[in-house]
Amino acid sequence: MSKLDTLLAGLARERSTGALQVGRSGTIFLADGRVTYMECAMAPSVERLLAARGLMTETALRRLQADGDCARLLAEGPLTHGELQYAVLGGVLDAAFFLLPNSGSRPKFRPGERHWLGGQWFFDVPGLVRECARRRAQLAQIWPSADVDSLPVRPLPRLPGHGVTLSRIQWEVIVRADHKVTPLELAKQIGRPAYPILLAVRKLAASGLLAPPDPPDLPRRRASAERPPHDPGAAAQPLGPPVSGDPTDLALLMRLKKALEELS
């Protein structure tokens, strides 16, 4: 259990109400010790999810947010209670996925503070922790390296085989990917929760549809110890990224090797 999990458990026992600021990463809102809402800088907000789906304009959402009136969100627009609940659930699970493992920052609790969308649904911390663990296990099972989660999405210009079958989200990722944006940036652009996008990107990687990452720059030696590469007496230089004995690194290299062989 992380420090944040322990702190949340203590706030739950004390039936605290307020906002727990987790550095610059995000905020966890509680009422009577129960989590009512979470927001995270790394994932699309509920407001962004609703606006991207055309359910509410961003201007209308900002006005309602400033008024702090969640009831008007359902009364004034075409948004149903179920659609709002679905968006809140996706946003909270996204935020929990990125926030709950956080142990580097010092959380700060602000008593009495509430989120304008909070108070309608409640999430128990152990359940959120279990769901986060399940999601991480699912991602690791599909593709063992988390590198693709933070690297720009780069679809291959040619298929490695005669045909592929893509899900709707995978198709959106392929269409929107410009070889510059990361999966989390894509999630915000598309207006989908971050986890389904991460899942889609890892499936694309596992299918050999993404270009492998560029090898890292190798550290330079000091000039006094360097010898020109054409010198036959110079020490042999490695031709690729350094390989460690870590099983995740080896599994990634084997998958990249297979993808390159299918391209040839």
Q: Are residues 263 and 181 in the same domain?
A: yes
| C-alpha count within 13 angstroms, C-beta hemisphere, residue 120 | 18
Spatial separation of the C-alpha atoms in residues 62 and 69, rounded to whole Å: 11
Spatial separation of the C-alpha atoms in residues 111 and 20, rounded to whole Å: 9
Specify whether the CB–CB gap between 91 and 188 falls below 8 A: no
Residue 45 domain-assigned?
yes
Spatial separation of the C-alpha atoms in residues 65 and 39, rounded to whole Å: 14
33 or 263: which leads in pLDDT: 33
> What's at 247, amino acid-wise?
P
Grade residue 17 by pLDDT with cuts at 50, 70 and 90: very high
Mean pLDDT of all residues in 96-106: 80
Written as six digits, the tokens of 65 are 């947010």
Written as six digits, the tokens of 113 are 């503070």
Q: Are residues 192 and 111 in the same domain?
A: no
Written as six digits, the tokens of 221 are 């030696």
Residues 69, 23, 97, 133, CA torsion sign? negative
Mean pLDDT of all residues in 53-71: 72
Residue 118 domain-assigned?
yes
Closest listed residue to residue 251, CA positions, set 121, 140, 109: 140
Helices (H), the chain: 3-13, 46-52, 58-67, 70-76, 81-99, 125-142, 147-150, 168-176, 183-190, 194-206, 247-263
Residue 234 domain-assigned?
no
**pLDDT over threshold 70, residue 26:** yes
Q: Are residues 81 and 148 in the same domain?
A: no
Residue 182 domain-assigned?
yes
Whether this prediction's pTM lies above 0.85 is answered by no
Of 102, 128, 154, which closes a domain? 128
**pLDDT over threshold 60, residue 218:** no
Grade residue 184 by pLDDT with cuts at 50, 70 and 90: very high
Count how many domains the chain has.
2
Q: Are residues 94 and 157 in the same domain?
A: no
Grade residue 238 by pLDDT with cuts at 50, 70 and 90: very low
Residue 263 domain-assigned?
yes
Q: Are residues 255 and 172 in the same domain?
A: yes
CB count in 10 Å sphere of residue 122:
14
Residue 228 domain-assigned?
no
6 or 37: which leads in pLDDT: 37
Residue 36 domain-assigned?
yes
Of 76, 94, 128, which closes a domain? 128
Q: Are residues 68 and 118 in the same domain?
A: yes
Domain that holds residue 252: 143-212+246-264
Q: Are residues 7 and 122 in the same domain?
A: yes
pLDDT of residue 68: 66
Q: Are residues 43 and 147 in the same domain?
A: no
DSSP string for 227-249 = --TT-TTSPPPPSSS---S-HHH
Mean pLDDT of all residues in 231-244: 41
Spatial separation of the C-alpha atoms in residues 187 and 129, rounded to whole Å: 22
Q: Are residues 167 and 191 in the same domain?
A: yes
218 conformational bin, left if phi > 0, alpha if psi -120 to 50, beta if neither = beta
pLDDT of residue 167: 92
**pLDDT over threshold 60, residue 223:** no
Q: Are residues 184 and 159 in the same domain?
A: yes
* Of 51-55, 202-206, 215-219, the least confident: 215-219
Q: Are residues 180 and 264 in the same domain?
A: yes
Q: Which H or E run contains 191? A: none
Q: Are residues 74 and 189 in the same domain?
A: no
Of 79, 104, 128, which closes a domain? 128
